[in-house]
């Protein structure tokens, strides 16, 4: 079967957040990723594939058509459209990770995988944080997106209303290696370029940081995804 113009139009539009929100749909590419979403609570809307490899209704298309609708350089057999689920009531999580305007899709994808690995069930994202249904985030987070609950909200209001203790990562925070880290609380990670913003900083109870062991005159900081890995590991490993 050939792919229709309307299908192409819909798929292309789902590259943009505006249309994902309007249609309440998002894209998943590749056999492995699609399988994880099919095995999860996510609801399939439509599946396109060059071979009938899934046990669900599939529209078989040519490789050439897949190339046309794919966002990848080397498309992998299938592209699926899933429904964006309705937000669930927040779990009573012991430890929550919150992101203050993380903008890079690869970073958010890595952070979602880290939440999955370290058993962080709730990820709270500021409204300026990149959309977790962005195709690059879906690609980078792999199946972890099916297992981590992600909530977009005004982070300032969220922190004000929360009764949990808040921890923020800063260059000059006290060392994660000597500080007693929370088993319960909210850990905030900042934006790639600017770190945690001043209005959020005011709501942080405790500043923590990753000490540098190498050349102290070096100016670079750690990437936010790398820093998140180190902080979550320190919290869970303590």
Binding residues (CB under 8 A) for a copy of itself: these are 110, 113-120, 142-144, 147, 176-177, 210, 212-215, 218-220, 222-223, 225-226, 229-230, 233-234, 236-237
Beta bridge partners of 151: 124
Task: Tell me if 178 sits within 8 A of 82, measured CB to CB.
Answer: no
Nearest to a copy of itself of 68, 151 (CB atom): 151
Nearest to a copy of itself of 136, 147 (CB atom): 147
Shortest CB 238 distance to a copy of itself, Å = 8
Shortest CB 170 distance to a copy of itself, Å = 16
For residue 150, give Cα distances in angstroms to 123, 130, 153: 5, 12, 10
Shortest CB 106 distance to a copy of itself, Å = 8
Task: Tell me if 105 sits within 8 A of 136, measured CB to CB.
Answer: yes
Shortest CB 116 distance to a copy of itself, Å = 5
What is the rounded distance in angstroms from the CA atom of residue 202 to the CA atom of residue 199? 6
Beta bridge partners of 168: 188, 207
Task: Tell me if 186 sits within 8 A of 98, measured CB to CB.
Answer: yes
Instruction: Report residue 105: phi and psi, to 5°.
Output: -60, -40
Nearest to a copy of itself of 6, 215 (CB atom): 215
Nearest to a copy of itself of 62, 177 (CB atom): 177
Shortest CB 179 distance to a copy of itself, Å = 11
Nearest to a copy of itself of 20, 113 (CB atom): 113
Q: How many helices (H) and strands (E) does the chain have?
A: 9, 10
């Amino acid at each position: 079967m050939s792919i229709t113009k309307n299908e192409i139009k819909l798929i292309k539009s789902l590259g943009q957040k505006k249309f994902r929100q309007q249609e309440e749909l998002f894209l998943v590419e590749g056999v492995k990723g699609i399988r994880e979403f099919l095995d999860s609570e996510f609801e399939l809307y439509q599946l396109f594939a060059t071979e009938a490899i899934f046990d669900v209704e599939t529209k078989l298309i040519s490789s050439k058509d897949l190339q046309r609708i794919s966002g990848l350089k080397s498309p992998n057999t299938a592209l699926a459209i899933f429904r964006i689920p309705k937000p669930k009531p927040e779990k009573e999580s012991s430890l929550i990770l919150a992101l203050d305007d993380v903008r890079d899709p690869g970073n958010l994808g890595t952070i979602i995988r880290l939440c999955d690995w370290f058993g962080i069930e709730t990820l709270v994202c500021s409204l300026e944080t990149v959309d977790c249904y962005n195709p690059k985030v879906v690609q980078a987070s792999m199946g972890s997106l099916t297992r981590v609950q992600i909530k977009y909200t005004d982070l300032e209001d969220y922190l004000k209303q929360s009764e949990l203790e808040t921890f923020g990562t800063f260059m000059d925070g006290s060392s994660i290696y000597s500080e007693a880290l929370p088993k319960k609380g909210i850990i905030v990670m900042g934006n790639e370029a600017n770190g945690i913003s001043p209005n959020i900083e005011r709501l942080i109870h405790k500043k923590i940081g990753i000490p540098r062991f190498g050349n102290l005159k070096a100016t670079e900081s750690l990437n936010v995804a790398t820093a998140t890995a180190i902080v979550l590991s320190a919290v869970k490993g303590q």
